[in-house]
Amino acid sequence: MSLELIVGPANSGRAGAVLDRFVAAAPEDPVLVVPTGDDVERFERELCERPGGLLGGSVTSLPGLFAEVGRLCGLGGGQVASRMQRIWIARAAARAAELRILRRSAGREGFAPALEALLGDLQAAGLDAEALAARVGALEGEKGAGAGAYEAEIGRLFAAYEDLRDELGLTDEHRRAAASTAALRADPGLWRGRPVLLYGFDDLTREQIELVAALDGAAPVTIALVFEDRPALAARAELFGILREELGATVAERLHPDRAHTTSSTLFQLERNLFNPAAVATDCDDSLVLLESAGERSEAELIGRRIAGLIGSGREPDEIAIVLRSPDRQAPLMARVLTGLGIPVAAEATLPLSRTATGAALLRLLAIAAGEGDAADVVAFLRGPARARPESVDWLERRLLRERIDGAERALEAWGQQGGRIWPLDALVQAGENPARLAATVARIAADIAERPHLRSGPQPSGPDAVELRAAAEVGRALGEVSALTGLAPDASEIVELLGHIRVPLWRGPTEGRVRLLSPYRLRATRIEELFVAGLVDGSFPSPGGGDPLLPDQRRRELGLPARQDPAAEERYLFYSCVSRPQRRLYLSYSSADEAGVTLARSPFVDEVRGLLEPPPTPEPIDDELERKLVERIGIGDIAPPPERASSPRALARALAALPAREGDARLTALELPPGVREQVSEDLGLARAGVAAAATPGPLSTATVLAALGSRRLYGASTLEQYDLCPYRWFVAHELDPQSIEPDPEPLETGGIAHQALENLYRQAPHGRRPSEETLRSWHDAARIQLRASAEGRGWDLASPRARIALARLDAVLGRFLARDASTGGPLQPDPELLEAAFGESPDDAFPPADMGSFELHGKIDRIDVSADGKALVRDYKLSARVVAGKRLLRDGKLQLPLYMHAVRGMDLEPIGGLYHPLAASREDRPRGLLAKEEKDALIPGETAAHYGTDFIPEDELEEIIAEALDRAREIVAGIGSGAVTRSPRDGRCPSWCGFAPICRMERGIIEEDEEEAQR
């Protein structure tokens, strides 16, 4: 027989030549072999359209060809191991083999899949364990004993794998392929002389080459190859050489480029000249588009808008394809964005089970059951599809966070106290240690997780929901396959590792009527009208490539194994495959920056294409007139597309809302829209503009009922007034909307409360005198330590925990510094135990009535009041912060509390002579700041520099002016609240950096920073 080659470039009509030969050989029952199942369907359709095309013969893939050879040769017996079974057998082999160099690596979870892939590679290269051992022996003979120690361990793993496989009564696809090839060589007549034609294969493994050689001895074989002696196709020169020199193939037809394969002269010339250093530049028509975006999602949206436009103009989805260099990494996001635009997608990629909602929920459940999960796992599982009512889980999460419950067992107890139950945990307990029962239970739970949201629903799930159902199916399949391995069935501790090896296909089914997302390798036998090549960023495409993690290229060469393709040549060939496939238009898409704004370099392949176009590129891209014409660009700040590029009525409304109103209306009028769409867009546009206006100028309040309620209020707190003065909108959100945090109180707030309570109890139960002195300081400090721990324990702290020990040690130091300063200042003013945490207001627990402020009343609680024998009072307020505001800056900075409290003590029959803020957390300068009557300096109030700041002492008339001014400002605020003057107008026009309400008021913000003093409020 003869092996014939049909050779030519990608646009040379190889498919037509192959189909012509197939039809001519129809009476002899020919077999056409193509790369994938989708290609099988496509070629079957094409043959059916030809007279006599499928009256004789069949179309199959390469695995189908091996199976057909095996069937005709009478090979049977031995179940073929699945990929998951091979991985699990490889795992067992790694634990059974005697290893030294690889011993630690063999215990890691990723080792078994890597070993399975390596063994498959060795088998595809025509080796078994015995042949590999012979090559290792030859290596040691050449380089000396011990030279092949690492390779010898790989050989022992290979041998252990084969032994386990055979003991289990299994075979694998490579062993079956080798047996089929050997049987065909022994009796070529079994094939019955059926002609074989291979199309779309430009790389073949040794295993496949051996089958071609065996078929060549049994029937006419024709292979159509993409090959020319040029740089773009250099990666396929080795295969061409093997077929010519080793198998004796002859070139039956040498095809030439055919302009009929594209409507564009530019695309034709690009295919002809790509990577040719002597290429002549060509003019550019509209068949080439460059898409420049900012980040992967922005890129997906830009591509999606283009595709939506193509489909809207009449292009069929299956005439469009998107090439991704790494589909498993890139396709999930791309598919999500396109699906959201209503574009039917077939993403030929897989993702780990853990990245599906079903897989993530299942893995969390198993972690909880094994005692390795935490409270967050319990909450995350309950938030899974159809697990529990969201509001119930919200309350559970709030309790877990606020009570700092972090263990799964205690979280489950809390859930049970709410009346909740997690039946899958009970099912796992009932399954016990029986591996088969456990595997069946886990599979049933996975199915329940995926199917429960769709119970009693009519339509068959599609898109992301279908992925979840496939995830459950893959779990059931993998567990069933591995549980069938006698003696190797996974126990409870191994199931999680097994699930970690599962890959879930994003799409399964026919691709007709869908936009395909595929790798360059899957594109080779396909011609597409509109082709998008995405992710053309340097380091992504071209990919840097990577060798086998267990057998690097150098070791492969030493063993005489086939060398891997040169990475640079392979990437050039793959890009050539992309450029040569589109018939109408080629889109090259890349990101100029990532989502954080970091600049990215586009692929040199884009520049290679640009260099083939007239006029030549300029040194500065910004001056390149042709590139400005070719590029459609969206930057990191472009949140809406141009109206002409909008892919849905809602997107069009957003795009128009981003324009000035007059321009937006004119653009809408100029657009030709289907019936009913214009009305929908107009309605959405009105809502969008109203939302923009409301976001720009929120408030004031105008509802009569609300205004009446606000106007009737008379009682206010000082912190409420300060919040309004800081920003009315922040006051409204924090005080009136009153959002409830589900997280624990911030540490400054919690520790501040402990410190305040400890100081109150300490001075109320003073160990010696009313306040500490130099002589009694140690006993006061010891008492403070006791009070701190009692206060912390009363708040539910575990005093033995590391967090509590660290926090209490810090508070010991804080109070120690405060007591030392209090002892050193002295003076005749003494704390009054009855005026510690002096509360005034309308509450039954308040010791004093609210303070009359004229147009309103004030309520509050003063931390400490020091008094003299004649009723003069010094107000003290503790701040667990490192700094406090100087007295003369209080009103300028909106700090009304201290002067208002000084006025309030007059209602307690006291005369205020000062007020001080104490910075308890100050590490260097811990002197208090505030307002002090100058007339009382050195008399009632120590005036030494070490005790107080001299600038805080002011004359009594100025002190009264500050108090009066604070009262006037407080009355203005109360009047503003009563009139509903709630606007987004922060003090000095700047939001405080620590405010976390930006998502509500939508004012431009910087980075949120925690404010220690504000956190105590």
Supply the DSSP symbol for 763.
H
Q: What is the SS3 assignment for 853?
A: coil
The tally of CA atoms less than 13 A away on the side-chain side of residue 323 is 30
Peptide bond into 615 cis (omega under 30): yes
> pLDDT tens for residues 93-115?
999 898 999 999 998 888 999 99
pLDDT score, position 1011: 44
> pLDDT tens for residues 739-767?
877 877 777 788 888 999 999 999 999 99
Bridge partners of residue 732, in order along the sequence: none
pLDDT score, position 698: 67
Amino acid sitting at position 133: A
Q: How far is CA 998 from CA 913, 980, 988, 993, 1005, in A?
A: 41, 21, 17, 10, 7
Query: Taking a C-beta distance cutoff of 8 angstroms, is the pair 353, 504 a contact?
Result: yes
**Residue holding tokens 């889980």?**
393
Query: Taking a C-beta distance cutoff of 8 angstroms, is the pair 968, 960 a contact?
Result: no
pLDDT score, position 636: 74
φ and ψ at residue 155, rounded to 5 degrees = -65, -40
Asked whether residue 52 carries a pLDDT value surpassing 70, the answer given is no
| pTM as predicted | 0.78
Asked whether residue 1005 carries a pLDDT value surpassing 60, the answer given is no
Q: What is the SS3 assignment for 389?
A: coil
Radius of gyration of the chain (CA): 39
Q: Please provide the DSSP assignment of 92-147 as one string.
A: HHHHHS--STTHHHHTSTTHHHHHHHHHHHHHHTT--HHHHHHHHHHHHHHH-TTT
Q: Which residues contact 958 (CB under 8 A, 6 or more apart)?
A: none
For residue 443, give the nearest of 411, 418, 472 by alpha carbon: 472
Lowest mean pLDDT among 214-223, 528-537, 559-568, 782-791: 559-568
- C-beta neighbour count of 353 within 10 angstroms: 24
For residue 857, give the nearest of 722, 973, 709, 716 by alpha carbon: 716
Q: Which two tokens stand for residue 591?
A: 């990101």
Lowest mean pLDDT among 478-492, 668-682, 834-848: 668-682
Intra-chain end-to-end CA distance of the chain, in Å: 92
> pLDDT tens for residues 160-190?
999 999 999 999 899 999 999 999 999 999 9
pLDDT score, position 946: 76
As a whole-number percent, the residues of the chain with pLDDT over 70 amount to: 96
For residue 436, give the nearest of 372, 393, 480, 405 by alpha carbon: 480
How large is the angle between the packed helices 173-186 and 111-124, nearest 10 degrees? 10
Confidence of residue 658 (pLDDT cuts 50, 70, 90): confident
How large is the angle between the packed helices 802-825 and 777-794, nearest 10 degrees? 140
Average pLDDT score over residue span 530-556? 88
pLDDT score, position 461: 65
Peptide bond into 542 cis (omega under 30): yes
Angle, alpha carbons 672-673-677 (nearest 5°)? 160
For residue 756, give the nearest of 840, 836, 866, 855 by alpha carbon: 836
Confidence of residue 386 (pLDDT cuts 50, 70, 90): confident
